[in-house]
Structure 1
Amino acid sequence: MNKEELLWLRRYNQYCGKFMYKERCRRGISEQKISRGVCTRTELRKMENGDTPWKKMIGDYLLQRLGVPTEYFEVMADARELNGWRDREDICLVVFEQPQKAQQLLEVYQKKYRKKTPFEEQFLKKMQTILMMQAYKKSFESKSVDVEREKSEGENLVESARQTVLCTLPDGWEKKKLSKFLLAPCELESILLLANCLLLIGKTDEAMQMHKKVADYVKQAKFEPKVQILIYPQVALLGMKLELYAGNEEKAFSYGMEALELLRHQYSQRYVVFVLEELLNVLECISVKGKEDQKYKEEETEVTEFLKTFEELYRLFSHPKKRMWQSIIVSNTHEIGLTLKMLRKAMGLSAAKVSAANPDHLTARQIEKIEAGTHRPSGRNYEMLMQFYHKTGLEGQLLLETDSLEVLHQRQEIVDFIIREEWDNAWESFQSFKEKLDVNVPLNRQEVLFMESNILYKREKLASDEYLRMLKEALSCTMPELPLEKWNMWVFQREEGSLAGNIADKLEKSGEYECAKQIYQALYESFELQMKRTQIPYRGYVVITTGLVNLLGDHKLYRQSMQKDKKIIKALLNDTIEDVDFFLYDICWGLYELEKEEVDKKEEYQNWRRKLFLISYQLASFFYSENSVKFYEEQAVKYLGEKMTL
């Protein structure tokens, strides 16, 4: 690597590396403690200094050890990293319900990726142990079993779980306090898996001690909710089982309710069916013991309804009811090769023309290999191409140009206020937030303009034409002027996509239907192309699809609208599902209108929309979406033929 490339890489990695370094030092954490089992201290130092490329997966692992939500970053990854993530996701989806298929996928993964990181090895061993647990339960569920064989297989099961933990923790870790280590949620999950195996073979005391260590670690770490959601449902699941075994039904109930409340407030479905099922089991035990408290009866009714809702949702959309979840998030990650290919096409250039304009750098063939994901560009070449395509902001950085975790926390606070439509609270927090940012930086100026225009408009302090002007100004902070027909090839970052979607919405409402439709369609195509590899929606994709289906419905294109509703629902079932109720309701609207045209299918459509409307209603209740609940109650007579209240 020459001096020029080295300097560029330092600039490329300065955001992620600098942030991690500052947060590590602020908390007094040594290089050895954070890097143990994942990378060498030298490798860590190079990542923090920007002397080596920032790797998405390893970087996420290290940040999670610090308790930092990786959603705060928008980064690049190569095809190998994203392909590996997708292959692991496919295993997660079938490990509980299709164990034979999961075993086949595990074997394929082992052969496909010869060189694996410690966390990949840990993931594979974790999946293998889960498959062994299921086989163990099935083999010895009958009363007449071979005691010696059961003991032998039980020992093998526990050893497999121990090896999973040892992928990132040293020998003898059990004899130390977990606080001596810095642990990411997936590492804590491996320890819980070991505790589950110990419980399964009858070593309850050891299981309890191990569970307590993990529960204490999570409590003392004071993870913020976006990190806590990655581990606490699993802590609560085992906690409920152990407390029931010990006869502490109320403590078991407390574990279950804490996990449930976390899921509800974080719009999450991680292990939701597991939690609801075990919570019902706890409530049944409480009932058997004669504790007929009204509080428990009401909770049992609500939990039962929530469980039915999720089971029906998963059934209707052919989604697994029970699955594993990865802790690595890719909804904020762009693939290097695809990004460069899309930007080249957005500029209307062939690979040959790009090469001819930069004769000292890359040949057309090299450009094609980079775009195909078979070759990773050097730092110098990546910078050259991004500058040539007039793209800034995709340089492995935070959502804002800041190295302050406090500022990022406040941004999330404002976003949460906006989601809950608490506009006065959002405005109050925004006033101090904007003072902490350098608005001369394009990314920061974009964020300030976007938030300010949205909050003022919703508070009725901003006229529609001024709102639209501010949105366009915010978008121009990071996006060059492009013909609208080229927008489908622009790589929209999180805020860019949301801004463009809001612009289209305002244009439609002002009567510029064709222009709005063209923008929505271009945005939709751009995000669909970027999602092809991971099948996980980018955050802006929801905003865009919401606007697009509304536009299609307003112009009576119900079948097209419903087709897009179903597609995004299936995508969201693999991610956060805070907006699923809206898309279910949109299908209800389409079916209601189609009944008038297709009288012979009226009964079929009525049954379908009744099911979907009830799920929408219950999901809104589950996630404490008060405005949505009120709206659905108002629409109940139209879609159900009767009033309803929760």
Structure 2
Amino acid sequence: MCDTDEFGKYISKTRMSNYLSLEQLSEGICDSSSLNRIEHGKRYANKLTRDRVLGRLGIDGYDYENYVSIKEYRQWEIRMEILNNISNGNLKEAYQKIKMYSESYDKYCNNNLKMQFCIFAYAQIKKRKGYNRRLGKIFADALECTVKCSCDMISSKVLSAQELSFIMDDAYYNREPERMRIYEQVVEYIKKPYFDVFSRAMIYPKAVVHICREIFSEQNIPDRQSYVRMLELCSGAKDILGEAKRTYYLWEISRLLKNIYSYFLKNDGENSGNGVAQEKAEENQGFMQAFNEAGRLAGISVKMQDDTYIYKEYGVYCTADVIYKRRRTLGLTVRQLADGYMIERTLAKIESGRANPHATTIKELFKRLNMSAEYSRLEIVTDKVEAKDTIRNFKKKCNSGEYDKAKALLEKLKRNIDLSVPVNKQFVLRAEGYIAFKLKEIGMQEYMQVVKEALECTIPYECIMNNKGDIFITNEEIMCLNILMSDKDTERAKVYSDFLQNVFEKNKDEEYWKRQKVYKVLMTNLANVKGSEGEYEYSNNVSKSIISMCVMEKKLTFLCENFYNLAWNYREQNKSKQEYIHYVEYSYYIARFFDEDRSMKFFKSRMDEWK
């Protein structure tokens, strides 16, 4: 089995655009000739390898949909179980699973990366237990699985977020005299332009917290210059986390900012020359209250207790499950899908996981199921680095309400991708409809029609809405469906409500579903629909479950919507006015953290309306 061409080409072009050699990128992962074959689509790269290569290129894999074989999926599941057990404090069970995972055999597995993960997980167990002895040596051993790097070599190496994290942990536990210098080097390293905001969010806040702790350790009462430096670092860290919508070390950063603001307000008054004012302190305090409330609803501490987040992954799918569920979603029989390509018995074996098909077989089956054949992909299929950068910039302009600029970026994207590929056409159609609607070039009903047309580039609308069993729809299809569910037509709204409730009831106890981004999108919509129908308790329970998932995953993407849904339900039930205002305020401060101007204005108007 080997990767399809587009992913390998994308890796190659990204590597060259970052002026990296094969030897630099492949160090400790594989030999340079193997990476060359991966780039040319002649060798399969397992998920650990793909993730590390992307990581060293400064690309976080969160936005990717990843498809893996059943054996590799089981390996991934074990890794996630280990990490979740550590996060939940089930340390004995985590240790047993580490032992089982380290002894398991998979011919496609990258042993260096597998061993590195096991050492890292073992270190996290010791850290949670408070056994700090020899932790520095353990983190150093983890780092050496892939790269040998002294503190003087950091800037010359090609490192991923995980490797940078190991360097900081080694420094914290093992290199006291050199700590500050190492942390400062990591801060400068992660500023390299090819690191995306999600990769920066994994490392920059952690480095900042370590630097601030060193300052307080070295100076019992830090001087003014140190406070200015800490303000700059912590503000930068919070901005990165807000853009990425992540919570890595966010409570610690917010706590530091609270102390820093107090210092300046005490010494400079409200009109500080450093830009620190009462408004900033109140904003930080409001956000901390909202963040703590999310933790309270989830029953989880919002403080960082471990670093398992650097390995946690979502959007991973088993190809056997995908083929089976997608076939059923489309209403196809085994005979219809296999027709003219393979015998039915072979397809049945593939779907049950009893056969390990070649990449060309997966590619053909995915094509018949109207899906991209890439093992790792974003919304579009392309090998062009520029096209993927354009999508990220397009999203930023949409989020900031700069629709004319977003429209120009979309036109640029269309010139750089193949629109005969169904998933590419689907993304562009949906995006064009959204921009046209926001610019008031089309009305709501016309917009809905465009989105439905986009959805049906890959799957008939009726196939989804009539589905009563297993379902598999891609992230882009979910985006289309989410828009269609905002339709105000009463009859259609009831159909959407029934569909969402059916999905929720069938999958609410399935960990597989809860790990997918699809789940949170659909369930947030379900909470809104049920609240509108007057089923307030049901709606509240769904929203609280999504808030809990946001806190556990350290990703705040759906927090605003679900806080506001709770507020709306309290208002409709004529419950405490104060409770309503609190939850709207929480939504406002989270939106402010994200720097989402339109959402901030909306929540502010709701607060003023009731005050």
TM tier, smaller: 0.7 to 0.9
Q: Aligned with 1:616: secondary structure?
A: helix
Partner residue in 2 for 1:280 = 258
Relative distance call for 1:160 and 1:302 in structure 2 (3 A) is same
Q: Distance in 2 between matches of 1:455 and 1:329?
A: 34
Q: Which of 412-421 and 444-453 deviates more? A: 412-421
Aligned-partner Cα distance in 1 for 2:72–2:292: 32
CA distance in 2, matches of 1:136, 1:474: 53
> Which of 577, 591, 597 is 2:570 aligned to?
591
Letter in 2 for 1:109: I
Q: Would you say 1:566 and 2:544 are equivalent positions?
A: yes
Partner Cα distance (1:355, 1:198) in 2: 58
- Residue number in structure 2 paired with 1:414: 394
* Residue 163 (structure 1) aligns with: 141
* Corresponding residue of 1:224: 196
Report the equivalent of 1:338. 321
Partner of 1:495: 476
Counterparts of 1:342 and 1:533 in 2: how far apart (Å)? 13
SS of alignment partner, residue 498 of structure 1: helix
The question of whether the paired residues in 2 share the 8 Å contact of 1:18 and 1:49 is answered with yes
Q: Report if the CA contact (8 A) 1:581-1:617 is conserved.
A: yes
Distance, in Å, in 1 between the alignment partners of 2:164 and 2:78 is 22
* Partner in structure 1 of residue 168 of structure 2: 192
Partners of 2:342 and 2:240 in 1: CA distance: 55
Aligned partner (choices 621, 630, 640) of residue 601 of structure 2: 630
- For residue 514 of structure 2, give the secondary structure of its aligned residue in structure 1: coil
Partner deviation per Cα, 1:228-279 (whole Å, 9 max, x = no partner):
1121111111121223325423212221111012112222212211222233
Alpha-carbon distance change, 253 to 514 in structure 1, aligned in 2, over 3 angstroms: closer
- 1:516-527 paired onto structure 2 within 5 Å: 516-518=496-498, 520-521=500-501
Distance 1:442 1:352 in 2: 24
Letter in structure 1 aligned against 2:602? F
Contact 2:65 2:316 in 1 (8 A): yes
Paired residue total: 591
Q: Does 1:50 align with 2:19?
A: no
Distance in 2, Cα, partners of 1:530 & 1:51: 40
Question: 1:45-97 CA distances to partner (integer Å, 9 max, x unpaired)?
Answer: 33222223342232021011011343454331234545555554555556578
Q: Bigger shift: 55-64 or 78-87?
A: 78-87
Check the 8 A contact 1:271/1:322 in 2, yes or no. Answer: yes
1:147 aligned partner:
none
| Cα displacement (A) at 1:545 | 3.5
Structure-1 separation of matches of 2:112 and 2:446 = 52
Q: Percent identity?
A: 20
Provide the rounded CA distance (Å) in 1 between the counterparts of 2:139 and 2:379: 37
Q: Per-residue displacement from partner, 1:497-535 (whole Å, max 9, x unpaired)? A: 1112222323x4475333433554577689x58973273
1:463–1:311: structure 2 CA closer, same or farther, 3 Å change rule? closer
Q: 2: CA distance between counterparts of 1:344 and 1:112?
A: 32
Residue of structure 2 equivalent to 1:67: 58
Counterparts of 2:271 and 2:118, CA distance in 1: 45
Q: CA deviation at 1:186?
A: 0.8
Question: Please, which moves more after superposition, 613-622 or 344-353?
Answer: 344-353
Q: Give the structure 1 partner of residue 288 of structure 2.
A: 307
Pairwise mapping of residues 543-562 of structure 1 onto structure 2 (< 5 A)? 543-562=521-540
Q: Secondary structure at the match of 1:230?
A: helix
1:356-406 per-residue CA deviation (whole Å, 9 max, x = no partner) reads: 986647447624531xxx65433344345435x533214324422222222
Deviation at 1:611, TM superposition (A): 4.7
Distance 2:398 2:388 in 1: 15
Q: Which range moved further: 478-487 or 255-264?
A: 478-487
Match of 1:181 among 157, 160, 185: 157
C-alpha deviation, 1:349, in angstroms: 5.6
Out of 241, 250, 257, which is 2:235 matched to? 257
1:447 aligns with 2:427: yes
Q: Does residue 326 in structure 1 map to residue 309 in structure 2?
A: yes
**Which residue does 1:144 correspond to in 2?**
none
Moved more, 279-288 or 311-320: 279-288
In the aligned structure 2, how far is the partner of 1:622 from the partner of 1:355?
A: 50
Q: What per-residue deviation string (whole Å, max 9, x for no partner) do you get for residues 143-191 of structure 1? A: xxxxxxxxxx75x233223212212112xx2164223221001100110
User: What SS is found at the alignment partner of 2:65?
Assistant: strand
TM-score of the superposed pair, with normalisation by structure 2: 0.85
For 1:391-406, what aligned pairs fall within 5 Å after superposition? 391-396=370-375, 397-406=377-386
Query: Are the equivalent residues in 2 in contact too, given 1:16–1:54 (CA < 8 A)?
Result: no
The whole-number CA distance in structure 2 between the counterparts of 1:314 and 1:212 is: 31
- The answer to whether the aligner puts 1:40 opposite 2:20 as a matched pair is no
The aligned residue for residue 242 of structure 1 is: 214
TM-score, length basis structure 1: 0.81
Match of 1:212 in 2: 184
User: Post-superposition shift, 1:332?
Assistant: 3.6
On the 8 A contact 1:126/1:164 being kept in 2, the answer is yes
Post-superposition Cα deviations, 1:525-561, rounded to whole Å, max 9, x if no partner, equal 89x58973273342x5454334433333332232332
Q: C-alpha separation between the residues in 2 aligned to 1:566 and 1:281?
A: 31
Match of 1:119 in 2: 113
Q: How far is the alpha carbon of 1:310 from its aligned partner?
A: 1.4
1:311 & 1:615 partners in 2: Cα distance?
Answer: 10
Displacement of 1:492 in angstroms is 1.4
Moved more, 307-316 or 545-554: 545-554
Partner AA of 1:183 in structure 2: L
Aligned equivalent of 1:462, options 424, 442, 445:
442
In structure 2, C-alpha distance between the alignment counterparts of 1:386 and 1:18, rounded to whole Å: 20
2: distance between equivalents of 1:293 and 1:194? 41
What is aligned with 1:108?
97
SS at match of 1:568: helix
State yes or no: 1:621 paired with 2:592. yes
DSSP-derived class of the 1:219 partner:
coil
Aligned-partner SS, 1:334:
strand
Matches within 5 A, 1:292-303: 294-295=271-272, 296=276, 298=278, 299-303=280-284
Q: Is the 8 A contact 1:553 1:590 kept in 2?
A: yes
Matching residue of 1:6? none
- Encode CA deviations 1:328-366: one digit per residue, 9 max, x unaligned: 564443221221221232354666887798664744762
Amino acid at match of 2:523: T
Which ranges in structure 1 are unaligned for 5 or more consecutive residues?
A: 1-8, 138-152, 596-601
Given the superposition, is the C-alpha separation of residues 131 and 567 from structure 1 closer, same or farther in structure 2, using an over 3 Å criterion?
closer
2:5 pairs with 1:14: yes
Instruction: State the shift of 1:612 in Å.
Output: 3.3
- 1:364-383 equivalent positions in 2, closer than 5 A: 366-367=349-350, 369-370=352-353, 376-383=356-363
Which residue of 534, 558, 575 maps to 1:579?
A: 558
Assess, with a 3 A threshold, how the Cα gap between structure 1 residues 437 and 364 changes in structure 2: closer, same or farther.
closer
- Choose 239-248 or 295-304, whichever is displaced more: 295-304
Asked whether the 8 Å contact 1:72–1:408 carries over to 2, the reply is no
Cα distance change on mapping 1:461 and 1:270 into 2, 3 Å: same
Do 1:192 and 1:211's aligned partners in 2 also have CA atoms closer than 8 Å?
yes
Which residue type is aligned with residue 154 of structure 2? Answer: L
Amino acid at match of 2:113: F
Q: Which stretch has the larger CA shift, 377-386 or 173-182?
A: 377-386
Q: Which amino acid aligns with 1:632?
A: F
**Which digits, 9 at most, give the CA deviation of each residue in 1:283-334, with x for residues without a partner?**
566678x565644463444333322321221022212323434345644432
Distance in structure 2 (CA, Å) of the matches to 1:326 and 1:455: 35
Q: One-letter code of the match for 1:592?
A: R
Larger Rg: 1
Q: Does the 8 A contact of 1:500 with 1:519 survive in 2?
A: no
Residue matched to 1:143:
none
Query: Taking structure 1 as reference, are residues 181 and 218 closer, same or farther at Cα in structure 2, changes over 3 Å only?
Result: same
Distance 2:114 2:405 in 1: 42
Once the two structures are TM-superposed, the CA of residue 421 in structure 1 deviates from its matched residue by 3.1
